[in-house]
Amino acid sequence: MFTPFYAAIADISATIRRHRDRLGRPVIGVLPAYFPLELIHAAGGYPVQLWGAGVAIDHAEAYLQPYCCSVARSVLELEMRGSAELIRAYVFTSLCDTLINLRELYRRLFDKPILGLSFPVTQTAEGRRAFLVDAAEEIIKGLEAVTGRRVSPDALRESAGQFGQLRSLQRELYRLRRERPGAVKNADFHAVLKAGFFLPVEEYGRLLESLLAGLESLEAPAGRRPRVVLSGMVFDPLEAQRLFDEIGADVVDDDFASGWRTVSKATLQVDDPVEGIAEHVFGGAPCCCIHHPKNDRHDYLVNKIRDAGADGVVFWYVKFCEPDAFDRPQLLARLKQEGIPATVVEMDLSMKSVESLRTRIQAFCEMIGGLEI
Amino acid sequence: MTQLGAFKKMKELMTLYYIEAKTAADKPIAWLTSGAPVEFVYAMGAIPVYPENYAAMCAAGHQSVALMEAAEAAGFSQDICAYARTDFGQDLVRGGPAGGLPAPQFLVCSTNICKTVIKWYEVVARKYQVPLFVVDTPFLHDGLTPGLVDYVVAQFRQLERFLESMLQKPFDRDRLIEVIRLSRQATGLWRKILDLGRTVPVPFTSLDAFIHIAPIVTLRGTQACVDYYQLLYDEVSGRAERRIGSVPDERYRILWDNLPIWFKMRRFEKFFDERRCALAAATYANSWGGLADFAGIQTRDAMEALAVSYLNIYINYGFEQRIRYLARLIDEFSLTGFIMHSNRSCKPYSVGMYRLKEELARLTGKPGVVIEADQNDPRVFADAQVEARLDAFIESMAPVA
């Protein structure tokens, strides 16, 4: 059932090339996070999401210090070594200081169009709107210049519907994972999500529908295994996700920027695109990169854990991410107060082996779930 | 540092400032980022306190490590900004030269220096359960636009409402205009002092500027700040007229980019003196001069002027604008080379710096060097490595004509 998803991510370039040639749409690489892919699709582009890769950093070393995160370093590495030739243009958001500067660095280094959408940080709806009116117009013009096609209201409505439907299918998969722990292996689950970074919306939607149909009758395995919720920015490396399957623990929900925080976004409202974009950025699950005091991460995470019936939380820390790291001590304190066990695993997307994470995850799972070894 | 009579006055001023902040029972305390529009806060009679300034003081007094270790023991990763860690540490153990900062009643942070301050201030807001107002000054990827100015002005209006609710009194627009006038006077004097770095030999180096920067950060908007910089200007301009240099027998004139390395001030002073290098201009020190551009502020356009000055901050610039600015400094200050501090604690300043160095060297024909360090964390600093790089760089420079 999971074969097509694994096939899609086995050779990502081949996957993208095949679909690009078939669709005749220019490939647009989207950096983290929360850029409305609907806009790219409506402009006739083929968005692919770049959440970093497990490659050795060689060329990118010349431009990004070792204290930059491996998401930024690996994405730059791929472009510099010529592995991203399929990408016609890049789109950035103002997610963090590193990505804001990376957008500038790309403008200096590469001839490809470098587009961006800065998110307003202000709290009032009027303030956001005032900022986004110009920002939305600019990004749409930029996309139209890349694809040579206008973003018509009809096209936008069509794309919003497709992506909205896609995320709703992903949410079904999340529901299934939550309600039937262990029915889907953790590595398989993340392979499905990851395939969605690179497959075109139509193709991915079809695959998800058939997957969900196939999973419908699947029961959770008998017996209760330790149940965890994962929290972090990116869920990669995939091999590290496999560790939970090997250890015998069930991931029942997550709070990943590349996972639920994106999947939870509602269908883009297109009657008023500016309002729609604001809602897309600020709506859905809270994120450490989106200042939004009314959408509190603490209550959110506690509720998520309770709702999922989880035994504990693993903070999935991809090194040097300041927004993620700043929040953690207070989150840990809150979880402690609530009697929810938690642990932190540190990693780097370019790590050669994920084995070093195994002991820590295993010890934690034993502690929370009486796991026998 | 250069022996200046004004130094004693500054020490006094800063001591008084911290004493007032620590003892004022009748005035609310606000914590602000260094690039926040403090004028509004002063206009309403609250006392602004600057964790960044305090963190720098802790590092300069070699007290930052113990404080950062306290924060790290409380779970804060070494990956986060060392200023923030120093601040969290002082808050936990009541440490540093003033025995810790007074607790805030509200917070104002501006994104012009980084987006990371949002995270820092969220932590403080949660700890003290106090409101946080963010003044969003978006990164200028393509320069300043009227839309961005309007956006910031609109937030200023909201800031006024916020302060009214914090202080339980109507916002005092007349007082604001007066504070802005004082702020502009002080930044104007500060700019004039820094511009004296064009003089050969340099009468007031960037290392001096890093020391004398404290009042423009913490007290701009007050008469005391204006008076202080008038005093300093008189002294430094006197030195410039008499061609008294800060560095014995000045041979090289250098640009410093990024924050100071606060815990190495003395060692760097000796190092550069011995090599006859004068740090003549610094992007960091220049960051508090913006309002000086608005000579005749009227009530009507005061908000716009303020918005522009808080948007137009060097590390809020796109790279094209940064390179042009750096090249202009190199030209106008007759510099022989530039040092870029790749600062682990400051991503907006540092990410992309290797490329900026390449382009700037190509554009100006002047040699540059990148040193790996941190503004506040001596544990990630290696004297031998940094000084060897600096020595190689100094050898590559042609002396001043």
- The per-residue pLDDT for range B170-187, each reduced to its tens digit, is 999 999 999 999 999 999
What pLDDT score was predicted for residue A315?
98
Hey, what are B368's tokens?
């540059």
- Nearest residue on chain A to B85, alpha-carbon basis: A326
Q: How far is B376 from chain A (nearest CA, A)?
A: 15
SS3 A30: strand
* Cβ count within 10 A of residue A359: 10
From the list A101, A107, A108, the residue facing B351 with the nearest CB is A101
Residue partners of A143: CB distance under 8 A and separation at least 6: A28, A39, A40, A43, A45, A91, A115, A151
- Cβ pair B141:A330 closer than 8 A: no
- Cβ pair A67:B344 closer than 8 A: yes
pLDDT above 50: residue A322: yes
> Rounded to 5 degrees, what are φ and ψ at A167?
-70, -30
For A46, A91, A170, A189, B215, the CA distances from A167, given in Å and listed in that order, are: 17, 20, 5, 14, 53
User: What digits encode the pLDDT tens for the residues A232-265?
Assistant: 999 999 999 999 999 999 999 999 999 999 999 9
pLDDT above 90: residue A124: no
Contact predicate B339/B369, CB 8 Å: yes
**Type of residue at A26:** P
**Type of residue at B365:** G
What pLDDT score was predicted for residue B302?
87
Residue partners of B341: CB distance under 8 A and separation at least 6: B256, B257, B258, B259, B261, B349, B350, B370, B371, B373, B375
Q: How far is A121 from chain B (nearest CA, A)?
A: 6
Q: d(Cα A365, Cα A354) in Å, to the nearest integer?
A: 17
Q: d(Cα B145, Cα A251) in Å, to the nearest integer?
A: 47
For A134, A323, B155, B263, the CA distances from A129, given in Å and listed in that order, are: 9, 25, 12, 44
pLDDT above 80: residue A103: yes
> Exposure string (b/e) for A296-334, b if CB count within 10 Å is 16 or more?
ebbeebbebbeebebbbbbbbbbbbbbbbbbbbbbbbbb
From the list A120, A124, A326, the residue facing B119 with the nearest CB is A326
H runs (alpha helix) in B168-317: 173-195, 206-212, 214-218, 223-241, 265-274, 283-286, 302-311
β-pairing, A342-347 vs A312-318, is parallel
Q: With bands split at pLDDT 50, 70 and 90, how would you rate the model's confidence at B374?
A: very high
* Average pLDDT along chain A: 96
Q: Which residues of B touch A98 (CB under 8 A)?
A: 347, 351
For A30, A142, B30, B295, the CA distances from B36, given in Å and listed in that order, are: 32, 32, 11, 21
- Whose tokens are 């993340």? That residue is A190
pLDDT above 60: residue B324: yes
Hey, what are B19's tokens?
């004493």
For A46, A105, A143, A196, the CA distances from A21, given in Å and listed in that order, are: 11, 29, 19, 18
Hey, what are B290's tokens?
């913006």
pLDDT above 80: residue B51: yes
Contact predicate B314/B286, CB 8 Å: yes
- The mean pLDDT value for B204-226 works out to 97
Q: d(Cα B282, Cα B288) in Å, to the nearest integer?
A: 11
- Cβ pair A131:B147 closer than 8 A: yes
Chain A CB within 8 Å of residue B150 CB: yes
Contact predicate B9/B231, CB 8 Å: yes
Q: Which residues of A touch B158 (CB under 8 A)?
A: 122, 124, 127
* Alpha-carbon torsion angle A333, A334, A338, A340, nearest 10: -60
- Nearest residue on chain B to A129, alpha-carbon basis: B151
Hey, what are A106's tokens?
């790309």
**Cβ within 8 Å of A, B 96-125:** 111, 114-116, 118-120, 122-123, 125
Contact predicate A163/A38, CB 8 Å: yes
Q: Which residues of A touch B351 (CB under 8 A)?
A: 64-65, 68, 72, 97-98, 101-102, 105
Instruction: Report DSSP letters for A180-223, one per residue.
Output: STTSS-HHHHHHHHHHHHHS-HHHHHHHHHHHHHHHTTPPPPSS
DSSP letter at A265? P
What pLDDT score was predicted for residue B231?
98
- Cβ pair A97:B151 closer than 8 A: no
Q: What is the CA radius of gyration of chain A?
A: 20
User: What digits encode the pLDDT tens for the residues B59-104?
Assistant: 999 999 999 999 999 999 999 999 999 999 999 999 999 999 999 9
Adjacent-strand bridge partners of A344: A315
What pLDDT score was predicted for residue A373?
45
pLDDT above 70: residue B299: no
Q: Interface pTM (ipTM) of the complex?
A: 0.97
SS3 B165: helix
For A332, B74, B80, B136, B278, the CA distances from B68, given in Å and listed in that order, are: 19, 10, 10, 28, 32
What pLDDT score was predicted for residue B104?
98
Chain A CB within 8 Å of residue B359 CB: yes
What pLDDT score was predicted for residue B295?
65
Q: d(Cα B120, Cα B31) in Å, to the nearest integer?
A: 11
pLDDT above 70: residue B214: yes
**Cβ within 8 Å of A, B 229-248:** none
SS3 A318: strand
What pLDDT score was predicted for residue B401?
83
pLDDT above 70: residue B256: yes
Q: d(Cα B81, Cα B347) in Å, to the nearest integer?
A: 9
Hey, what are B50's tokens?
């600057």
